[in-house]
Structure 1
Amino acid sequence: MIRDTTPGDPFKLFDTWLEEAGESEINDPTAMSLATVGPDGMPSSRMVLLKGVDSRGFVFYTNFESRKGEQLQANMKAALLFHWKSLRRCVRIEGEVEIVTCEEADAYFASRPRQSQIGAWASQQSRPLEGRFELEKRVAIYAAKHAVGTVPRPDYWSGFRVLPQRIEFWQDGAFRLHDRLVYNRSGESWTTERLYP
């Protein structure tokens, strides 16, 4: 049950829930569904990994030329959904999106395994692929090109930060009498309200 003594800052509650998910989820507790809207007005969602969270928002990284990258640059709004089945909890986030700084993107890219860095160069994400051999060939080409030294971050690869306007915490309850607590941003602070399940 979500206690009545919840913190006034939703990021504190999120950090607590994420830490608990890290102890109970079998796979990626940082996995989240990312929803965007295409130029035709149709929604699109996919799973990505949370790579950072602070008092400003939730950060993930991608190829800007991918479908999600292009949709986000055209419409700088997104929704995120965390579902931690082991805890019977969800967190829903909605807000504006900004591009992370070059320094943030460089630092995260440098922390990735070398093969993942090569993969960022080799994959023309979301574009048609004739066959697996074509991808493996591109990986070999970029592995040879960056065989020595550090692998630079491609210009088309960076991150987005979702700046939440609304965060909903959902806790499963007996007989479908779930707990729902919503934080709404109001200037620099937050207001809260509980919702019927």
Structure 2
Amino acid sequence: MIRDITTSIRTTVVLWLLTALIYPMLIFAIGQGFFPTQANGSLITNDQGQIIGSALIGQTFSSDEYFWSRPSAIDYSQGEDAAPTGISGASNLAPSNAALLERIQSEAERLQAAGIEPTADLLYSSGSGLDPHISPASAFNQLDRIAAVRNLAPDNLQTLIEQHTEGRFLGIFGEPAVNTVTLNLALDQL
């Protein structure tokens, strides 16, 4: 019986060392060594070196001079100048839920009033509520509004959208997408 207890204690210590120390340290080292930007949150800084967001987390853009992002069931940030909080979550509303249908209808009316053809990614939030990407079609649908407000040539905006369109992962997975956070930052630099 003492031998079984000793074996159990040794097994527990070895498994603890593997799962609580060695594996996390290995993953940390790989992340920092090969993917430091992604491992540290893909943070975006302004010219003064201040963190203004993340390329992985969407932000609310409601001004007519910016490309609008996907709607979110949660607030991306807690204040005007706050960085994204990391809170994620979907609405968990069923497709037949009246509140969801009402939100989608009001969003469609808002888009149509702005002269934007409603697309799925401008009407529906992502599963996490944090996705900063929209389809290239959704970005192109907003081109005329932004060109008129910013007094820019639509060709310049079209080129900017094309430059910020990310292709399929490994060339086969997913669909091409435009990151609204990085696109709007580039738009401000024009």
How does the TM-score come out when normalised to structure 1?
0.25
Query: Which structure has more RCO (C-alpha within 8 Å, separation ≥ 6)?
Result: 1
Structure (1 or 2) with the larger CA radius of gyration: 2
How does the TM-score come out when normalised to structure 2?
0.25
Q: Kindly indicate which of the two structures has a greater share of residues assigned to helix.
A: 2
Q: Kindly indicate which of the two structures has a greater share of residues assigned to strand.
A: 1
